[in-house]
Amino acid sequence: MRLDSKTKTLLLPVFLLAVTIGVEAQTAYQVVSVSNGGTIAGTVKWSGPMPHGLTVPVNKDPEICDPDGNKSRNLDRLLVSSEGGVANTVVFLKNISSGKAMILPEPRRTLDQRHCQYEPHILLVPESAALAMKSSDHVLHTIHMDGAASFNLPFPFVDQTVTRNMQTPGLVNLRCNGGHVWMNAEMMVVQHPYYAVTDEGGHFDLDNVPPGRYQLVAWHEGWHVMGRENALDVFTQKSVQRVVFSQPKTWEESVVVAPNSKNSVNFTISDK
């Protein structure tokens, strides 16, 4: 299905809402000493039949983008392990105003372009902190960002790092404007450090959480294909087709963190 201009206009308010999903507006976060904090750990699991995966042809730079000769790329928007764990789900505390130091895992703040794929697929960057980006590919890429950040950055040189400060909290979509239409990633620019991304088994862990009652949110970027839209390869000036996905999904659970406690919260998500 191809999206016409009327459909895009109708979807615009939904997209603007999605920009803020997962990053709650709040007063300035305050770093304090947390001597009796608890932990929140758990899993995100899939329930029910799996949606059909989406495969797109690798129709540009196959010697770099498709070294194994598969001729196609699975977009891997929904990654479920053999045990049912859902990877690449962001789990975070809602509206927490004070706590541990504003530090997030360094691998989530560094982006590489390798075999025409973004690594990692989900990024977490503190508000006003820098995102470091490079390309390991011997082809031209251009990272285009929209949402809470707006950049269009070419990468003509291999392994040359470029940094940009992410000044505004919110959701940022990343894609390649160099004709590699299957490349996409999501970045959350966040105001507190109580965010985690589930691993391949769907596990997450939040530590040094101040005692209190919280809403714990699981956020997934979404996996349904809404259609395709025309895009421009900035290098060839040719029109290409890019997949348009459904909006992100969220689930919430309440949790009470007692001093020095260990808390288990498990999410079950489905296609319903």
Q: What does the pLDDT look like over 89-134, one tens digit per residue?
A: 999 999 899 999 999 999 999 999 999 999 999 999 999 999 999 9
The answer to whether the CB of 177 falls within 8 A of the CB of 231 is yes
Q: What is the pLDDT of residue 5?
A: 44
pTM comes to 0.88
DSSP for 45-73 reads EEESPPPPP-EEE--S-HHHH-TT--SEE
**What are the strands, taking DSSP E only, across 136-248?**
141-147, 152-155, 162-165, 170-176, 184-190, 195-197, 203-209, 212-220, 225-232, 239-245
Average pLDDT, the chain: 90
Lowest mean per-residue pLDDT among 1-5, 11-15, 177-181: 11-15
pLDDT tens for residues 200-218? 999 999 999 999 999 999 9
Number of domains the chain is built from: 1
| Predicted confidence band of residue 254 (pLDDT cuts 50, 70, 90) | very high
**Pairwise pLDDT comparison (26 vs 47), residue with the higher score:** 47
pLDDT tens for residues 177-192? 999 999 999 999 999 9
| Mean pLDDT of the region 165-182 | 95
Rounded to 5°, the CA angle 117-13-228 comes to 40
Q: Is the pLDDT of residue 250 over 90?
A: yes
Q: Is the pLDDT of residue 263 over 90?
A: yes
| Mean pLDDT of the region 60-71 | 93
Q: Is the pLDDT of residue 78 over 90?
A: yes
Whole domain around residue 124: which residue ranges? 5-270
Q: What is the pLDDT of residue 102?
A: 94
Q: What is the pLDDT of residue 234?
A: 85
Looking at residue 116, which CATH number applies to its domain? 2.60.40.420
Q: What is the pLDDT of residue 23?
A: 59
Q: Is the pLDDT of residue 15 over 70?
A: no
Q: Write out the two tokens for 22.
A: 């997962």
| Predicted confidence band of residue 26 (pLDDT cuts 50, 70, 90) | low
| Mean pLDDT of the region 208-232 | 93
The answer to whether the CB of 138 falls within 8 A of the CB of 114 is no
**Pairwise pLDDT comparison (224 vs 138), residue with the higher score:** 138
CA distance 57 to 80: 22
Q: What is the pLDDT of residue 124?
A: 98
Strands 239-245 and 249-257: unpaired
| Predicted confidence band of residue 18 (pLDDT cuts 50, 70, 90) | very low
Q: Is the pLDDT of residue 227 over 50?
A: yes
Radius of gyration for the chain, computed over Cα atoms and rounded to the nearest angstrom: 19
| Mean pLDDT of the region 144-172 | 96
The percent of residues above 90 in pLDDT, for the chain, comes to 74
